[in-house]
Structure 1
Amino acid sequence: METFNEYHLNPEQFPFLKGLQDEWEVIRDEFTIFIQQASPEELKFAYDVLGPKSKTIKTKGDSKYSAFGILFQGLFIEEYIQLHQIQYPDYGTNEASAKALALRNKYFPNLADAIDKVNFGNDNILRNVYFGTFHPGLDIKLHVNYNPHTNRGYLGLIVPKGDIAMKICHEQLYWHEGKFLILDHSYPHCPHNYTNYDRTVLVVDFFKPDKLRDEVIGFEKEQVTQRMQDNPYSLGVFGKSDKAKQEDFIKYGLAHQLEWDKAL
C-alpha cells in the first residue's frame, strides 16, 4: 500500500482531479497525435511559445526537459498571452495568441473540455496544465518550486519501465500511467530519467483547497506579476525563488540522514 505524508499527498483528497484522470487515455492520444502529426512549424511554436521557461532550474548534463501547455494561471494560453501582452522574437502578441488558439482547437479539444468541466464545477481551481517530457538521461539539480498556494499533480501519460523517479526528502517516488502523483513542491526535490525513453506526464497545478480562495488568488497575482517582469516566457510558472538555497540542501540532506539513522 502506498504511504502518504506532508509532501506526497493522497490523490483521493482531491476528487476534482478525477475529471482529468478519467480522460487520461484521450489526453495521451491527443499528445501523441500532436507529436507525430504536427508540422515542424507547429512543433516549434508549441515549445517556443506554449512552454513555460525557467532561468533557475538547471540540469546536470546535456539532456533536457521540454514542456508546452494550454492553461496558465487559470487562463487558456491565448488569453494569457493577450493579458500580459507577451512579445516573442518571431511573433507579435496578436499573432501568437491567434496561433495558440488555433493549435489548441486543432489538437487538444478534449483536454480543453476536461479542464473547462473541472474548473466550472470547482471555482477555477486548476491553474496550470501542461505536458512535461523528461528526455533520456535527464537529471535535474536540486531545487524548490516556491508555490505555497498550490500543489502539483502529475498525471502519467507515457511512463516507460526503468529508473524514472522524483527524489524528494529521503524518498524516491514514481510515476504511473493513468494515475496522479501529487506533491507539495515547496520541499527540495530533484527528478531524473535514467532510461533510454521519453517520459511524459500532464502537469496540473491547482489551488490548495484548504487555503482561503481570496488569499491564494492575491498571492498568485503578486507572484505572477514579479515572475513575468523577470521572465515573460516563464508564463508565471517558474521564477527566481525556485533556486535552492543553502537551507534547502541542509533540509534535503538531513532527511536522508534521519532515514539512514533509522535503518542503522
Structure 2
Amino acid sequence: MESFNEYHLNPEDFPFLKPFQDNWLGIRDEFTRFINQASEDELKFTYDVLGPKSKTIKTKGNSKYSAFGILFQGLFIEEYIQLHQIKYPNYETNEASEKAFILREKYFTNLAHVIAQINLNNDNIFRNVYFGTFLPGLDIKLHVNYNHHTNRGYLGLIVPEGDVAMKICHEKLCWHEGKFMVLDHSYPHCPHNYTNYDRTVLVVDFFKPDQPREEVIQFEQEQVAQRMEDNPYSLGVFGKSDKAQEEDFIKYGLAHQLEWDKSL
C-alpha cells in the first residue's frame, strides 16, 4: 500500500481530481494527436506562447523540459494573454490570443470541457493545467516551487519503463499512467528521466482546499503580478523564488540523513 505524508499527498483526498483521471485516455489522445498532426507553425507557436518559461529552474546537461497548456491562474490561455497584454517578439497580443483560442478549440476540446466543468462546480479551484514532457536524459537541479497556496497534481499520460522519477526529501516517487501523483512543491525536489523515451504528464495546480479562499486568491494575485513583471512568459507559474536557497539544500540533505540513520 502506498504511503503518504505532508508533501506526498493522497489523490483520493481531492475528489475534484477524479474527472481528469476518468478522462485520462481522452486527454492523452488529444496530446498525441496534437504532437503528431499539428503543423510546424502550430508547434512553434505553441511552444513560443503556450509554454510557461522559467529563468531559475536549471538542468544538468543538455536535455530539456518542454511544456505547454491551456489554463493559467484560473483563466484559459487566450484570456490570460489579453488580461496581461503579453507582447511576444513574433506576435501581437490580439494575434497571440486569437491563435491560442483557435488551437485550444481545434485540439483540446475534451480537456477544456473537463476543466470548465470542474471549476464551475468547485469555485475555480484549478489554477494551471499544462502538459509537461521530460525528454530523455533530463536531470533537473534541486529547486522549490514557492506556491504555498497550491498543490500540484501530475496525471501520468505517457510514462516509459525505467528510471524516471521525482526525488523529494528522502523519497523517490514514480509516475504511473492514468494515475495522479500529488505533491506539495514547497519542499525541495529534483525530478529526472534517465530513460531513452519521453515522459509526459498533465500538470494540474489547484488551490489548497483547507486554506481560506480569500487569502489564497490575494497571495496568488500578488505573486503573479511580481512574476509577470519579472518574466511575462512565465505565465505566472515560475518565479525567482523557485530557486533553491541554502536552507533548502540543508532541508533536503537532512531528510536523507534522517532516513540513513533510520536504516543504520
Q: Any idea what SS the aligned residue of 1:99 has?
A: helix
Q: Any idea what SS the aligned residue of 2:258 has?
A: helix
Gaps of 5+ in 2: none
Partner of 2:88: 88
TM-score scaled by length of structure 1: 1.00
Partner of 1:29: 29
- Give a deviation string over 1:183-219, Cα, whole Å, max 9, x none: 0000000000000000000000000000000000000
Hey, what's the Cα distance between the residues in 1 that align with 2:219 and 2:92?
Answer: 29
Partner of 1:4: 4
Hey, what's the Cα distance between the residues in 2 that align with 1:214 and 1:256?
Answer: 36
Partner of 1:255: 255
The within-5 A match list for 1:95-244 is 95-244=95-244
Deviation at 1:166, TM superposition (A): 0.2
Letter of the 2:58 partner, please give it.
K
Deviation at 1:182, TM superposition (A): 0.1
Partner of 1:52: 52
Hey, what's the Cα distance between the residues in 2 that align with 1:63 and 1:144?
Answer: 20
Deviation at 1:156, TM superposition (A): 0.2
Deviation at 1:71, TM superposition (A): 0.1
Hey, what's the Cα distance between the residues in 1 that align with 2:89 and 2:251?
Answer: 40
Deviation at 1:101, TM superposition (A): 0.0
Hey, what's the Cα distance between the residues in 1 that align with 2:236 and 2:161?
Answer: 32
Q: Any idea what SS the aligned residue of 1:157 has?
A: strand
Hey, what's the Cα distance between the residues in 2 that align with 1:55 and 1:126?
Answer: 24
Hey, what's the Cα distance between the residues in 2 that align with 1:86 and 1:152?
Answer: 25
- Give a deviation string over 1:10-61, Cα, whole Å, max 9, x none: 0001000001110000000000000000000000111110000000000011
Letter of the 2:101 partner, please give it.
L
Show structure 1 runs of 4+ deviating over 4 A.
none
Hey, what's the Cα distance between the residues in 1 that align with 2:31 and 2:45?
Answer: 15
Letter of the 1:230 partner, please give it.
D
Q: Any idea what SS the aligned residue of 1:129 has?
A: strand
Hey, what's the Cα distance between the residues in 1 that align with 2:46 and 2:26?
Answer: 19
Is 1:64–2:64 an aligned residue pair? Answer: yes
Hey, what's the Cα distance between the residues in 2 that align with 1:79 and 1:20?
Answer: 22
Is 1:78–2:92 an aligned residue pair? Answer: no
Hey, what's the Cα distance between the residues in 2 that align with 1:226 and 1:61?
Answer: 30
Partner of 2:246: 246
Hey, what's the Cα distance between the residues in 1 that align with 2:46 and 2:156?
Answer: 20
Hey, what's the Cα distance between the residues in 1 that align with 2:3 and 2:45?
Answer: 40
Deviation at 1:172, TM superposition (A): 0.1
Is 1:39–2:39 an aligned residue pair? Answer: yes
Q: Any idea what SS the aligned residue of 2:95 has?
A: helix
Letter of the 2:142 partner, please give it.
L
Letter of the 2:259 partner, please give it.
E
Hey, what's the Cα distance between the residues in 2 that align with 1:158 and 1:192?
Answer: 15
Letter of the 2:30 partner, please give it.
E
Q: Any idea what SS the aligned residue of 2:48 has?
A: helix
Hey, what's the Cα distance between the residues in 1 that align with 2:8 and 2:78?
Answer: 32
Letter of the 1:216 partner, please give it.
V
TM-score scaled by length of structure 2: 1.00
Letter of the 2:202 partner, please give it.
L
Hey, what's the Cα distance between the residues in 2 that align with 1:22 and 1:208?
Answer: 22
Hey, what's the Cα distance between the residues in 1 that align with 2:13 and 2:215?
Answer: 21
Gaps of 5+ in 1: none
